[in-house]
């Protein structure tokens, strides 16, 4: 069976370092912990020589310690609520990894077309081909001595449709075969020890197949911003408006949970919906005032939490 073309499987690839993605990473305020951890883990997965150098410098006798880190599969899961920054972070983190490891990094974003049309064997073929392309590229970048010559990150967004648990009784045979193909792909990358990693984003971590979870080097959890994080996001987003701390604090309270809803704004609600709403409320002939800001916050309806009906 002929392998599907690269263009069918992947959306537009991204090459890092790239200043646009560095700036987008800076905009992800409130996610410092996830950014730091993801950057370090990806760096180790795609360029193990870096942590080998660290070990030799600081803990030269700690070979056993390091072996546990280096044996972890090249799969990282980003799980959490909608609008919590998972996909954006997965898209831009390659720039930080490229700069940290001083290598070129390429992102292969798996296209929705890779889900196929339900024909027998199609999903398995598409997923297997995606991993084959990733492996082929990574093999060219593998170094048998010293630092990797580059790296590949395979991004699987909305992964629920590809890696849903095979324990679900009504699961279609083709879907089960697709999960098997995904697991084989992860194992193939791990066994080849190539400079490649897979980032899987999901709103439903509980629905992931147990075998996929076992292969994850880490499952990073993303939540909606709390009061302090909303203050941080709003302070940095509204810089230049000379707002008082009291106004920012009140705005953070308004965008949190209240008597009408038990959830607050997501990160994307704050930056992609509330901020534009504030601007449009004043444009074209008014200046932005505290009243406009607070009124806009009451008019924007936050995204409801994802409901897993399964």
Domain residue ranges in the chain: 6-222, 227-299
Look at residue 169 in the predicted model and tell me its pLDDT: 47
pLDDT at 299 over 90: yes
Mean pLDDT of the chain, nearest integer: 89
pLDDT at 158 over 80: no
Yes or no: say if 202 and 82 are a contact pair by the CB < 8 Å rule: no
**Residue 120 pLDDT level (bands cut at 50, 70, 90):** very low
Yes or no: say if 76 and 89 are a contact pair by the CB < 8 Å rule: no
**Residue 129 pLDDT level (bands cut at 50, 70, 90):** very high
The torsion angles phi and psi of 116, rounded to 5 degrees, stand at 80, -170
Distance separating alpha carbons of residues 11 and 184, to the nearest angstrom: 22
Helices 227-237 and 245-254, axial angle in degrees (round to 10): 120
Q: For residue 282, give both structure tokens.
A: 């004043």
In sequence order, the 6+-apart residues with CB closer than 8 A to the CB of 57 are none
C-alpha distances (whole Å) from 72 to each of 42, 86, 193 are 11, 21, 11
Yes or no: say if 105 and 92 are a contact pair by the CB < 8 Å rule: no
Distance separating alpha carbons of residues 259 and 135, to the nearest angstrom: 52
pLDDT at 298 over 60: yes
- CB atoms under 10 Å from CB of 175, counted, come to 19
| Between 172 and 98, residue with greater pLDDT | 98
Question: Residue 303: left if φ>0, alpha if ψ -120 to 50, beta else—which one?
Answer: beta
**Residue 278 pLDDT level (bands cut at 50, 70, 90):** very high
| Between 114 and 108, residue with greater pLDDT | 108
Burial (Cβ within 10 Å: 0-12, 13-18, ≥19) of residue 201: buried
Q: Which residues pair with 217 in a beta bridge?
A: none
Distance separating alpha carbons of residues 198 and 163, to the nearest angstrom: 13
In sequence order, the 6+-apart residues with CB closer than 8 A to the CB of 183 are 209, 211, 212, 215
Provide the H-helix boundaries in the chain: 6-9, 19-26, 32-46, 48-58, 63-70, 86-101, 122-141, 160-163, 173-192, 210-215, 227-237, 245-254, 267-268, 275-282, 290-299
User: Which residue bears the tokens 């987003």?
Assistant: 237
Domain boundaries 6-222, CATH class: alpha beta
pLDDT at 289 over 70: yes
Burial (Cβ within 10 Å: 0-12, 13-18, ≥19) of residue 215: buried
Return the C-alpha torsion angle 23, 82, 273, 31, nearest 10. Answer: -40
| Between 178 and 225, residue with greater pLDDT | 225
Q: Angle 253-259-262 (CA atoms, 0-180°, nearest 5)?
A: 80
Yes or no: say if 14 and 106 are a contact pair by the CB < 8 Å rule: yes
C-alpha distances (whole Å) from 35 to each of 85, 94, 268 are 10, 11, 17
pLDDT at 113 over 70: no
Residue 189 three-state SS: helix
């Amino acid at each position: 069976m002929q392998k599907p073309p690269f263009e069918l499987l992947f959306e537009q690839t991204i090459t890092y370092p790239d200043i646009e993605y560095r700036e987008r990473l800076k905009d992800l305020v409130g996610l410092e912990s996830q950014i730091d951890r993801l950057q370090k883990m990806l760096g180790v997965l795609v360029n193990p020589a870096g942590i080998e150098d660290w070990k030799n410098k600081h803990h030269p006798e700690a070979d056993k310690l390091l072996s546990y880190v280096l044996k972890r599969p090249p799969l990282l899961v980003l799980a959490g609520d909608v609008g919590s920054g998972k996909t954006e972070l997965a898209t831009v983190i390659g720039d930080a990894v490229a700069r940290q490891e001083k290598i070129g990094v390429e992102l292969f974003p798996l296209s929705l077309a890779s889900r196929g049309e339900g024909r027998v064997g199609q999903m398995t073929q598409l997923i297997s081909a995606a991993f084959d392309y990733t492996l082929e590229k990574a093999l060219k970048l593998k170094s048998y001595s010293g630092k990797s010559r580059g790296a590949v990150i395979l991004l699987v967004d909305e992964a629920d449709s590809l890696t849903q648990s095979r324990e679900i009784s009504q699961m279609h045979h083709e879907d089960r075969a697709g999960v098997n193909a995904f697991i084989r792909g992860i194992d193939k990358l791990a066994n080849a020890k190539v400079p490649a990693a897979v980032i899987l984003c999901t709103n439903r971590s509980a629905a992931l197949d147990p075998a996929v979870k076992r292969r994850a080097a880490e499952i990073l959890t993303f939540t909606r911003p709390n009061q302090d994080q909303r203050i941080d996001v709003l302070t940095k987003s509204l810089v230049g408006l000379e707002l008082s701390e009291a106004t920012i604090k009140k705005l953070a309270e308004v965008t949190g949970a209240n008597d009408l809803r038990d959830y607050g704004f997501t990160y994307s609600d704050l930056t992609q919906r509330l901020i534009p709403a504030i601007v449009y409320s004043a444009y074209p002939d008014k200046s932005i005032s505290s009243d406009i800001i607070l009124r806009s916050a009451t008019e924007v309806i936050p995204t409801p939490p994802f409901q897993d009906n399964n």
